[in-house]
């Protein structure tokens, strides 16, 4: 009986370690992206440079978590996740999420996302968030 009790005690001791090791092997997947601020007017930012940031919700902890240029891409596009081809008259957004209007006047959609695939000369994000940039 003491062998059985010893086996059960050791098994219970190592069970959490085995479960943790197995759970670490699976990949954490990005599920959603949220951009902040949700809307910004370039005239209220120094030199019209608007810093956007992105947060991701993941399938595993830690979640939510900040996203960086290593996790996502940025572009100007549409709420369907399609990035518009770079045009000199469009606003622009750099790899760090800083947008500027240039000669554009109106409202543009800023996108941050991942899973980009090419469609003609534009990219399409499969997981993305969007925000609005108002250009005076």
What's the pTM?
Answer: 0.77
Q: What is the C-alpha separation between 128 and 89, in angstroms, rounded?
A: 24
At residue 120, the pLDDT reads 57
Residues ≥6 apart with Cβ < 8 Å to 7: none
Flag whether 55 is in a domain: yes
Give, as one character, the DSSP assignment of residue 83: B
Flag whether 74 is in a domain: yes
Range of the domain at 91: 28-135
Task: Round to the nearest angstrom and report the end-to-end CA distance of the chain.
Answer: 82
Q: How do the pLDDT tens digits run along the chain, 136 residues long?
A: 444 333 333 333 333 333 333 344 469 999 999 999 999 999 999 999 999 999 999 999 999 999 998 889 999 999 999 998 777 788 999 999 999 999 999 999 999 999 877 655 678 999 999 999 999 9
Q: Which of 84, 91, 74, 78 is nearest to 35 (CA)?
A: 74
At residue 59, the pLDDT reads 96
Kindly report the CATH number assigned to the domain that includes residue 68.
2.60.40.10
Flag whether 48 is in a domain: yes
Flag whether 40 is in a domain: yes
Q: What angle do CA 50, 46, 53 make, to 5 degrees?
A: 25
At residue 122, the pLDDT reads 72
Flag whether 14 is in a domain: no
CA-based torsion, 73, 111, 135, 86: positive or negative: positive
Pairing state between β 39-41 and 127-135: parallel
At residue 26, the pLDDT reads 62
Flag whether 10 is in a domain: no
At residue 71, the pLDDT reads 87
Cis peptide before 123 (omega within 30 of 0): no
Domain count, the chain: 1
At residue 130, the pLDDT reads 97
The residue with tokens 């190592």 is 14
At residue 17, the pLDDT reads 35
């Amino acid at each position: 009986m003491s062998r059985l009790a010893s086996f059960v005690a050791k098994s219970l001791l190592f069970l959490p370690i085995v479960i943790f090791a197995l759970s670490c092997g699976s990949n954490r997947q990005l599920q959603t992206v949220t951009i902040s601020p949700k809307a910004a007017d370039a005239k209220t930012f120094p030199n019209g440079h608007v810093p956007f940031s992105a947060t991701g919700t993941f399938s595993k902890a830690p979640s939510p978590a900040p996203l960086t240029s290593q996790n996502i891409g940025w572009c100007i596009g549409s709420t369907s996740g399609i990035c518009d081809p770079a045009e000199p008259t469009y606003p622009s957004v750099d790899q760090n999420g800083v947008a500027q209007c240039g000669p554009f006047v109106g409202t543009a959609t800023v996108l941050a996302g991942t899973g980009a695939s090419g469609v003609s000369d534009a990219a399409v994000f499969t997981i993305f968030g969007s925000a609005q940039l108002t250009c005076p």
